[in-house]
C-alpha cells in the first residue's frame, strides 16, 4: 500500500508538472511574465531568480504550478504593464491557456513512441475464452451477449471486425471501448472457423462494454507464497491442477467455482513431471470471501511488434488518438445511466489507480513495471487534455472560451466581468472537487 501511494503521488505529480510546464513555456514564448515556476506545492525549500522568474522546489512533491504575472484582472487593468497576463492580446492568452493541455498530449505521444521503439511485453492470457454463464461467479440479469451469440467455453476469438485478436487483452480492450456497438467475431472451435455477430452491453458500474466471457487460464501454478494453502500442501511452481473435489479442472475458473461455497478443505489432484498426485488444501478466507490459495497461475507473455523510430512514432500517435477518441466516447456514456460514483474518479482514486498499475506491473519485472506505469500515465494525460479543454468555467477550455469572446467582440471584457467569471469558476471547481473527493472516499470505504 505504501508503494502504491508513493507511485501514485509521483505519477499524478508528473502529469500536473508537465501541464504547468506547457503553460510556462508558452507564456515565456509570447512575452507574458512568469512570477513563479515551482516543482511541487507548499513552502519553498530552495529557489533562485532568473530573468524575472522565481524558480523553486517546494515542500509537497505533488506536481507544481506556474504563477503568471498579472493573473488578477484588476491589477492587470490598473498597472497596464507590458508582460502581464490580462494586458496581453487575447490570442496570447489563448495560446498560453491551451499550452498546458497540449503539453499533456505531447508527453503522451513522446513517451508512447519511446515505449514502442524500445519494445515491451504484454502479460495476459491467450485468446481462448470461458463463458461467464457457465459459472456462478458473476451475476447477470439475463444471458450475456456472448452466450446469446452462440459462443462456447473453449472457443478462440481470432478476429473482431477483421482485426486480429492475439490475446485476451486485445479482446478486452476492443469490447470495453465498444458498448452497444455491433461487432462481427471470427472464432475457432475444434479446428473449424466460424462467424458470429454480437453487441457488447454497457456495464453501468464501469461505463465499459462487456460480453460475458473470462480468459481461459491453464491451472499451472506459477508463483507460490510460503503461507498459503498451496504451499502448505506441498505444491510448487510448474505443478498442474487436474481435478478438485473429484471434478475436472480444465482452467482456473473450474477451481474457483469449487471455492464458491467456502469449503474448509478441498481435495485436489495435480500433475508433476508426468505423475499424478493427491493432496488436500486447508483453506481460509479473507473478509471478501476470497480463498487464500497463496499462489498465482501462469499467464502468457506476448512481445510487442518490433518497429523503428518512424514506426514507433506512428504507433505513438495512433495510440494517443485512439485514447482520445475512446475518452470522448466515454464522456458521452456518462449520460446513459452509468453509475457516476463508480465510473468517475477524483484525484484520490486516480492516484490510487496509478500506484496500483505500477506495483502490479513490477510483479512481472522492473522493465514491465515502468512500461505499465508510463502507459497508464499517457492514458491519463490524454484524458487530462480532453477534460481541460472542455468549455467549463475554471478549466483551460473555459478560459479559452472567454478570450475567444474578446476576439469576436474586438474589445476586452471589463475587469469586473472577468473577476465575476473567475469567482464563479472557482466556486464551480470547489464544488466539483468536493463531490469527486466524497465519491472517492465512498469508493475506498466500500473496498
pLDDT tens per residue, range 371-420 = 888 888 888 888 888 888 888 767 788 888 888 888 888 877 766 676 67
What range defines the domain where residue 249 resides?
Answer: 221-297
- The per-residue pLDDT for range 53-92, each reduced to its tens digit, is 999 988 876 678 888 887 766 564 444 567 788 888 889 9
> 248 and 208, same structural domain?
no
Query: Do residues 316 and 227 share a domain?
Result: no
Burial class (CB in 10 A: 0-12, 13-18, 19+), 89: middle
User: In the block, which residue shows the cell 460514483?
Assistant: 341
Q: Averaging pLDDT over each range in 72-76, 77-81, 262-266, 442-446, which range is the top one?
A: 262-266
Q: Which of these ranges, 61-70, 209-218, 308-317, has the smallest mean pLDDT?
A: 61-70
CB 161 within 8 A of CB 150: no
Same domain, 160 and 256: no
3-class SS letters over the chain = CHHHHHHHHHHHHHHHHHHHHHHHHHHHHHCCCEEEEEEEEEEEEEEEEECCEEEEEEEEEEEEEEEECCCCHHHHHHHCCCCCCCCCCHHHHHHHHHHHHHHHHHHHHHHHHHHHHHCCEEEECCCEEEEHHHCCCCCCCCCCHHHHCCCCCCCEEEEECCEECCCHHHHHHHHHCCCCCCEEEEEEECCEEEEEEECCEECCCCCCEECCEEECCCCEEEEECCCCHHHHCCCCCCCEEEEECCEECCCHHHHHHHCCCCCCEEEEEEEECCEEEEEEEECCECCCCCECCCEEECCEEEECCCCCHHHHHHHHHHHHHHHHHHHHHHHHHCCCCCCHHHHCCCHHHHHHHHHHHHHHHHCCCHHHHHHHHHHHHHHHHHHHHHHHCCCCCCCHHHHHHHHHHHHHHCCCCCHHHHHHHHHHHHHHHHHHHHHHHHHHHHHHHCC
Contact call for residues 108 and 381 (beta carbons, < 8 A): yes
Tell whether 161 and 200 lie within a shared domain. Answer: yes
Query: Are 88 and 199 found together in one domain?
Result: no
The last residue of a domain, from among 274, 303, 332: 303
Is the pLDDT at 354 greater than 60, yes or no? no
Span 216-244, average pLDDT: 92
203 and 258 share one domain: no
Q: Work out the average pLDDT over 38-45.
A: 85
> What pLDDT is stored for residue 76 in this prediction?
46
Q: Are residues 129 and 112 in the same domain?
A: no
The DSSP bridge pattern shows strands 221-224 and 240-244 to be: unpaired
Query: What is the pLDDT confidence band of residue 123, given thresholds at 50, 70 and 90?
Result: confident
Same domain, 212 and 277: no
pTM of the model: 0.77
C-alpha angle 388/393/395, rounded to 5°?
20
Percent of the chain with pLDDT over 90: 35
pLDDT at 441 over 70: no
CATH number (domain holding residue 171):
2.30.42.10
Cβ neighbours, 10 Å, residue 363 = 12
> Does the pLDDT of residue 177 top 70, yes or no?
yes
Averaged pLDDT score across all residues of the chain: 82
φ, ψ of residue 49 in degrees (nearest 5):
-105, 140
What pLDDT is recorded for position 364?
66
Name 376's bridge partners: none
Domain closes at, from 303, 332, 367: 303
pLDDT of amino acid 78: 45
- Residue 123's DSSP bridge partners are 301
Residues assigned a catalytic role: 20
pLDDT at 339 over 80: no
- Lowest-pLDDT range of 20-24, 117-121, 303-307, 411-415: 411-415
For residues 210 and 166, give the distance between their C-alpha atoms in angstroms, rounded to a whole number: 18
Could you say which of 270, 303, 336 is where a domain stops? 303
**What percentage of the chain reaches a pLDDT higher than 70?**
79
Number of domains in the chain: 3
Rounded to an integer, the average pLDDT of 245-250 is 94
Indicate if 354 and 440 belong to the same structural domain: yes
242 lies in the same domain as 157: no
Classify strands 156-160 and 183-189 as parallel, antiparallel or unpaired. Answer: antiparallel
Q: What's the whole-number mean pLDDT along residues 287-291?
A: 82
Does residue 174 share a domain with residue 162?
Answer: yes
Q: Give 75 or 424, the one with higher predicted confidence.
A: 424
Query: 178 and 202: one domain?
Result: yes
Instruction: State the cell numbers at 149.
Output: 451469440
CA 85 to chain centroid, in Å, comes to 35
Report how far residue 149's alpha carbon sits from residue 132's, in angstroms, rounded to the nearest whole number.
13
Amino acid at each position: 500500500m505504501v508503494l502504491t501511494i508513493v507511485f501514485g503521488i509521483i505519477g499524478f505529480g508528473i502529469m500536473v508538472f508537465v501541464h504547468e510546464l506547457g503553460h510556462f513555456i508558452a507564456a515565456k514564448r509570447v512575452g507574458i511574465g512568469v512570477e513563479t515556476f515551482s516543482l511541487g506545492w507548499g513552502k519553498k525549500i530552495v529557489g533562485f531568480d532568473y530573468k524575472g522568474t522565481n524558480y523553486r522546489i517546494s515542500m509537497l512533491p505533488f506536481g507544481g504550478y506556474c504563477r503568471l504575472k498579472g493573473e488578477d484582472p484588476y491589477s492587470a487593468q490598473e498597472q497596464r504593464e507590458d508582460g502581464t497576463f490580462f494586458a496581453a492580446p487575447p490570442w496570447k492568452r489563448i495560446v498560453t491557456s491551451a499550452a498546458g493541455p497540449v503539453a499533456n498530449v505531447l508527453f503522451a505521444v513522446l513517451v508512447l513512441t519511446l515505449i514502442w521503439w524500445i519494445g515491451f511485453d504484454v502479460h495476459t492470457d491467450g485468446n481462448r475464452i470461458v463463458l461467464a454463464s457457465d459459472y456462478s461467479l458473476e451475476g447477470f440479469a439475463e444471458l450475456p451477449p456472448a452466450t446469446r451469440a452462440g459462443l462456447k467455453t473453449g472457443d478462440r476469438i481470432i478476429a473482431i471486425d477483421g482485426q486480429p485478436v492475439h490475446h485476451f487483452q486485445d479482446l478486452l480492450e476492443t469490447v470495453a471501448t465498444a458498448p452497444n456497438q455491433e461487432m462481427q467475431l471470427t472464432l475457432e472451435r475444434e479446428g473449424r472457423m466460424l462467424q458470429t455477430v454480437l453487441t457488447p452491453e454497457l456495464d453501468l458500474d464501469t461505463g465499459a462494454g462487456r460480453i460475458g466471457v473470462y480468459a481461459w487460464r491453464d491451472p499451472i501454478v506459477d508463483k507460490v507464497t510460503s503461507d498459503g494453502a498451496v504451499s502448505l500442501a506441498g505444491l510448487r511452481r510448474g505443478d498442474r491442477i487436474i481435478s478438485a473435489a473429484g471434478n475436472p479442472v480444465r482452467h482456473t475458473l473450474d477451481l474457483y467455482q469449487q471455492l464458491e461455497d467456502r469449503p474448509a478443505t478441498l481435495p485436489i489432484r495435480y500433475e508433476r513431471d508426468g505423475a499424478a498426485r493427491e493432496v488436500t488444501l486447508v483453506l481460509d478466507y479473507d473478509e471478501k470471501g476470497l480463498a487464500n490459495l497463496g499462489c498465482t497461475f501462469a499467464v502468457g507473455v506476448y512481445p510487442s511488434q518490433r518497429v523503428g523510430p518512424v514506426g514507433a512514432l506512428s504507433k505513438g500517435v495512433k495510440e494517443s488518438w485512439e485514447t482520445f477518441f475512446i475518452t470522448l466516447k466515454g464522456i458521452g456514456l456518462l449520460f446513459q445511466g452509468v453509475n457516476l460514483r463508480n465510473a468517475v474518479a477524483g484525484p484520490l482514486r486516480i492516484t490510487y489507480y496509478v500506484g496500483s498499475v505500477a506495483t502490479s506491473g513490477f510483479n512481472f519485472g522492473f522493465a514491465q513495471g515502468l512500461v505499465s506505469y508510463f502507459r497508464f500515465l499517457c492514458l491519463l494525460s490524454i484524458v487530462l487534455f480532453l477534460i481541460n479543454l472542455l468549455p467549463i468555467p475554471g478549466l483551460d477550455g473555459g478560459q479559452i472560451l472567454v478570450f475567444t469572446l474578446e476576439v469576436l467582440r474586438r474589445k476586452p471584457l471589463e475587469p469586473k466581468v472577468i473577476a465575476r467569471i473567475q469567482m464563479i469558476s472557482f466556486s464551480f471547481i470547489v464544488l466539483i472537487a468536493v463531490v469527486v473527493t466524497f465519491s472517492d472516499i465512498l469508493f475506498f470505504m466500500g473496498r
